[in-house]
Amino acid sequence: MNDNNPRPSVLFKSVTYLLWGAFFFCLCLIAIFYKTKPQWNFEGIFRINSLTLIIWATVTFFSAVVSTFAQKYLIGFSYYNRFIGLSLGFTISVSLLVFADHIAIFLLAWFGMGLFMSRLIGINNKWGEAREAARYCQWHFTCSGLSLTAGILLLCFNTHQYTLTHLQGQLHNLSFPIVLTAALCIILAAAIQSAMFPFHRWLLSAMTSPTPASALMHAGFVNSAGILLTLLAPLFYLSDTMTLLIIIGGITAIIAQFAKLIQVNIKQKLGCSTIAQMAFMIMQCGLGFFNAAVVHLILHGFYKAYLFLSSGEEIEHISPNKRHHGSLNYAEAILVCFLGLLGAVFFAWMTNKGLKLDGGIFLTLIVAITVGQAMDNILTRQELSVVKKAIIGPIVFFISIGLYALMYNSATKFMVDMPMIDHPEPLSVLQIVFGVIFLIGFFIMKLGIYEGFPWLYVKLVNDSQPFKKTVLRYKKTLK
């Protein structure tokens, strides 16, 4: 930090006001066209549909919040104006991704997101670790873009269609090997962008970015994989790769949830949490609930942006004189389990999901685990008395489940024009196996059983480390 640019510029404030204005404008469009379901196409170059408006409203809101926060947080930062320019460029790239209909613009937006985000990660180019982190992350983003390009162009060259609208209509005419190859390339692109195992290290190495940039990355950038999968949902049904999405998400979720336990750095904890939540989002896509994935990325964006922007406050609550015991006793574990199952039943009742023998059962299990985590966070708060826990717990319980179900129903109704947006897969042995593993893993984590396995601790420590060149490699900055 220095005082070469101590106050926000007029441009910075203007951009902030512009983002807030864009957010409220998008909300108005959603309210006006909620019943009519907009379908506007501009000569095969751009298009606006329900998903476009939802993502526009989401990304402009997060960007506006981050920009407002940064006006005070980054006072005195040498790269103040560069930050707002890169953030605006990232926001435009995400908005362009869901606005584009022509393949060239779509791919340009995907590469643009990676470019702007890598620049935000390494915004302090005089800091050696930041430069290495930016280079390492950019390499991953480029690989993701190239994989997506290969998959999309394979479909385009074989259908002779170069817009997303016409491409989706021709997928059923392609041979299975072509559809499968394209789907695998696109899944690889999504897995890299959302930091799925074993591509998770780029996200853990990206902590050199300023806190507002981290909030934007975790609330918007990694979520773009869910947008990509939703836009091309029919492809994964035709290629029989839905199960692969469940496997990728399931393995990553298990690893990330355990890795989070052994982190001592606030940002690293949040990074592992983001990886786990993105894994749940990928799993929801694999279950056939792309609408739930969209809702999940929105709610995760709200939650994670808040956690990053308040990370400094969280550090103040950590007492160095007391050892924090994050594990539950057996009575608390039973209560958490009961509330989680009750939350799943409540969610199933409100959404009519999980009442049939299909992927909806596993979706309600994800909700149960999420609610269980929320209840665990309340029960393990040392500053809350038993009475406060008894009062706050049910309030958080019903509000969180009710909000999730309300947003799920609203998004499903608004996105009804999207192909295969809510098409649950039949209940499979794989889903049952992962469900059992998740429940066992949840209790292993929350009861502290994992502490009795040193090899597991060492494995988790090694797998959750940032890229070696981004940590304590440079002793001084460049002159």
Question: Residue 308's closest CA among 217, 400, 195?
Answer: 217
What pLDDT is recorded for position 448? 67
Q: Are 242 and 288 in contact (CB under 8 A)?
A: yes
Task: Please report where in the chains the tokens 């780029």 appear, as a residue.
Answer: 202
pLDDT-based confidence at residue 100 (cuts at 50, 70, 90): very high
What pLDDT is recorded for position 380? 60
Q: Are 212 and 70 in contact (CB under 8 A)?
A: yes
CA dist., res. 258 & res. 254, Å (int): 6
Which is more confidently placed, 128 or 2? 128
Mean pLDDT of 94-113: 94
What pLDDT is recorded for position 3? 42
Helix axis angle, 103-121 relative to 128-159, nearest 10°?
170
What pLDDT is recorded for position 8? 54
Task: Please report where in the chains the tokens 């998770």 appear, as a residue.
Answer: 200
What pLDDT is recorded for position 104? 94
pLDDT-based confidence at residue 383 (cuts at 50, 70, 90): low
Which is more confidently placed, 205 or 466? 205
pLDDT-based confidence at residue 424 (cuts at 50, 70, 90): confident
CA dist., res. 85 & res. 15, Å (int): 9
What pLDDT is recorded for position 442? 65
Q: Over the stretch 66-90, which tens digit does the pLDDT of each residue have? A: 888 887 777 777 777 788 888 889 9
Name which of 129-143, 260-274, 386-400 the model is least confident about: 386-400
pLDDT-based confidence at residue 179 (cuts at 50, 70, 90): very high
pLDDT-based confidence at residue 416 (cuts at 50, 70, 90): confident
Could you tell me which residues come within 8 angstroms of residue 247 by beta carbon, excluding any fewer than 6 positions away? 286, 430
| Structure-token pair, residue 165 | 């609208």
| Structure-token pair, residue 114 | 């990676």
Question: Residue 359's closest CA among 349, 348, 372?
Answer: 348
Radius of gyration over every alpha carbon of the chain, rounded to an integer in angstroms = 22
Burial 150-178 (b: 16+ CB within 10 A, else e): bbbebbbebbebbbbeebbeebeebeeeb
pLDDT-based confidence at residue 198 (cuts at 50, 70, 90): confident
What pLDDT is recorded for position 324? 44
Which is more confidently placed, 134 or 368? 134
Question: Residue 245's closest CA among 305, 176, 326, 187?
Answer: 187
Three-state DSSP state, 206: helix
**Whether the predicted pLDDT of 153 surpasses 80:** yes
Highest mean pLDDT among 26-40, 136-150, 202-216, 255-269: 136-150
Q: Are 90 and 117 in contact (CB under 8 A)?
A: yes
What pLDDT is recorded for position 141? 94
Name which of 158-167, 253-262, 439-448 the model is least confident about: 439-448
Mean pLDDT of 4-32: 80
What pLDDT is recorded for position 107? 95
CA dist., res. 439 & res. 434, Å (int): 9
Q: Are 39 and 49 in contact (CB under 8 A)?
A: yes
pTM of the model: 0.85
Question: Where do the H-state alpha helices sit in 262-385?
Answer: 266-286, 290-309, 311-316, 330-351, 360-379
**Whether the predicted pLDDT of 5 surpasses 60:** no
Q: Over the stretch 276-322, which tens digit does the pLDDT of each residue have? A: 888 888 988 888 888 888 888 888 887 777 777 776 555 554 444 44
Q: Over the stretch 214-230, which tens digit does the pLDDT of each residue have? A: 888 877 778 888 899 99
Of all helices (H) and strands (E), which one includes residue 247?
helix 242-261
Of all helices (H) and strands (E), which one includes residue 132?
helix 128-159
Mean pLDDT of the chain: 80
